[in-house]
Structures are given as structure tokens and as C-alpha cells.
Amino acid sequence: MPNKPTVVCFGEILWDIFPEGQKAGGAPFNVSYNLHKQGITSRMVSRVGTDALGDELLDLIQSWGVPTEDIQRDEIHPTGTVLARIDEDNEAHYDIIQNVAWDHIGCTPANEELIRNSAAFVYGSLSIREEASRETLYRLLEVAPFKVFDINLRPPFYTPEVLEYLLGKADMVKTNKAELRAILEMFGEEYITEEGAIAFLEKRFKVSEVLLTKGSRGAVYYGHQNYYFCPAVPVTVQDTVGSGDSFLAGYLAERVRGGKMEAAMGNAAAMGAFITTKKGACPEYTLEEFETFKQKALLAPAI
């Protein structure tokens, strides 16, 4: 039997500190967690401190059955934390603590071999705000066969030069509408139409595929002269933490299983909506619970 496809995620793994308590998070880890919940083999390349928060985080991840062998330990820098709050519109706001363990991810031959044999390699812009993790990511991008850039802009932790490099390496870019506008503005391009903005990414950075999420207006796939639109799934929102990450996980799960684009987009829209009905980006749920939700959601009238 052939090996199951593996998706590798790189970058921040941390504790989101909410007023009511702490929850495991970090955009790439949210993707990895929800891939795992969908039955996909996912691996997380990151780093935590040799402190109580690091021990607690690894214990929690292991209890979920998510592999931790690619999460390094750091004896100098603490486990990452983010001070998070949810506003009256259920939107999340973050104060991301600097110079923590995931800023210092090292590159190992085992990492390179893992990524060389992966079905997809997911990375973002936040994880390379410090030189150590940036150099590691740059090396890993050279061996990844299918590179997925989840833009995830978090001011002030990016520069035009770094974004140009990361976009130029990507096979697929996942972005939301606000990030797409910000990218165009950063590179001196006027946003006139959505199609024109996507064409700019394709021409300037040689990006061949784009996943664009638009909140209540659904999501779109652009790539290889194809266009697939998926409407948003109507739900009662608990919070929006990790909804974009879970959308990407839903898409990649179906794609690496060999599903058609319509199925991948439907799975993505359902997963993104499903997570917003719960608290936090990595809530407890079963695959059966999600599949029941998806079946009902995809039969519901579009909004």
C-alpha cells in the first residue's frame, strides 16, 4: 500500500491567551490540527521553549494524536504566546509576543527529507520575522515540491522584500480580500477589480494558483485558466479565530486525497464555517460531527 500523502506546515505554534483562558494556536498549527482531524497525515515544523508552557503545549498536542517529533525545544527562548481579544463583532485582535522559540526554528536534514517527500508545504509570513526561522524557511522552500503560501499579514512583521520573495516561491497563494488589496498597494498597483488583482499576482510573482476568501461573500479559486466559486455557509458565529486556517485545511485535505476542485472548495467552505461555530481555532470535534455539518451546509441555500 502506498504511503498516505503528508502535508507539512511550518512556523508559529503558541498559546493564544484569551480573557477566559489559553488555547493552542498559531496559523500554520491551526492548519495542521484541522488536517489531522480530517484524517490527513500532517506534520508541524516549529519550536517551543523548555518551559512549563512548552511542556503543556506538547502534552496537549500529543493527546490529540498530532505528531510532535518535528517540534524542536529551545533552552533560551520561551514558548510563544499571543494576547488575544474578541471584539463586539466577533473579530479577533492579537498582541504577538516577540523573540520567542518559534522565531528560532533550525533546519535539519530530517526536515528537508520530510518536506521533499510531502504532498504540500504550508508557510506564512509571520514565522520569518526573525533571521533564524527565515533562513530555515528559505532552505526548506528549495526542496518543497508544492509550496502553499498562506499570506497571513500581521503588521509590522513583514517587509515588501520578504513578501516578494515568498510570493515568488509559491505554487499556490491563499489570501483574503484585505490582504490582496494590501499586497497590491505595497507593490504600487491600483486595485480595480478582483480579476485584475489576481492577474497581477500571476504576472508579477508567477503564482499559478490563488485561493481567495471573502467572508460572507464566499471564496474563489483561480488557477490554470480555471475559476471556481463557492458560496459562504450560513452559520451562527461564536468567533472567527482560525476560520481562514481551517478553510485552507479543508481545501488541502480534499486536494491531497485526489478530489475534484468542486469537492475541495465545498470542503473548505464547510470547514471554515464549522470552526466559526466553536470557540478557538483548534476546538474538540470528531470527523463524523464535521461530515454531518458539511452535508447539511452544502444542501442549505446559499447566502
Residue ranges of the domains in the chain?
6-299
DSSP state of 235: -
What is the arithmetic mean of pLDDT over 239-268?
94
Cα distance between residue 14 and residue 22, in whole Å: 10
Q: Name every residue whose Cβ is closer than 8 Å to that of residue 85 and which is 6 or more positions away in sequence.
A: 18, 19, 92, 93
Residue in 290, 66, 41 with CA at minimum distance from that of residue 26: 66
How far, in Å, CA of 179 to CA of 276, rounded? 20
Element (H, E) at 120: strand 120-123
Q: What is the mean pLDDT of residues 115-119?
A: 97
Please state whether beta strands 71-74 and 41-49 pair in parallel, antiparallel, or not at all (unpaired).
parallel
CA distance 139 to 133: 10
pLDDT of residue 300: 59
Residue among 105, 100, 82 nearest 242 (CA): 82
Query: How far is 131 from 20, CA to CA, in rounded Å?
Result: 34
Res 301: pLDDT: 53
**Residues with Cβ < 8 Å from 128, sequence gap 6 or more?**
11, 134, 137, 162, 166
What residue type is assigned to position 151 of the chain? I
Tell me the pLDDT band of 303, cut-offs 50, 70 and 90: very low
Indicate whether 141 pLDDT > 80: yes
Please give the radius of gyration of the chain, using alpha carbons only, rounded to the nearest integer: 18
Q: What is the mean pLDDT of residues 206-226?
A: 93
Strands of the sheet containing 80-86, edge to edge, are 21-25, 14-18, 80-86, 92-96
In this structure, what C-alpha cell is assigned to residue 253? 485535505
Of 2.60.300.12, 3.40.1190.20, 3.90.1300.10, 3.40.50.300, which CATH number belongs to 6-299? 3.40.1190.20
> Is pLDDT above 50 for 2?
no
DSSP state for residue 160 in the 8-state scheme: H
Burial track 218-256 (b if 16+ CB lie within 10 A, e otherwise): bbbbbbeeeebebbbbebeeebbbbbbbbbbbbbbbbbb
CA distances from 60 to 28, 53, 138, 214 (A): 17, 11, 29, 32
Mean pLDDT confidence for 6-33? 93
* Rounded Cα gap, residues 39 and 284, in angstroms: 14
Residues 52-100: tens digit of each pLDDT = 999 999 999 999 999 999 999 999 999 999 987 777 776 767 789 999 9
Over residues 269-285, the mean pLDDT reads: 92
The kind and range of the H/E element at 9 are strand 6-10
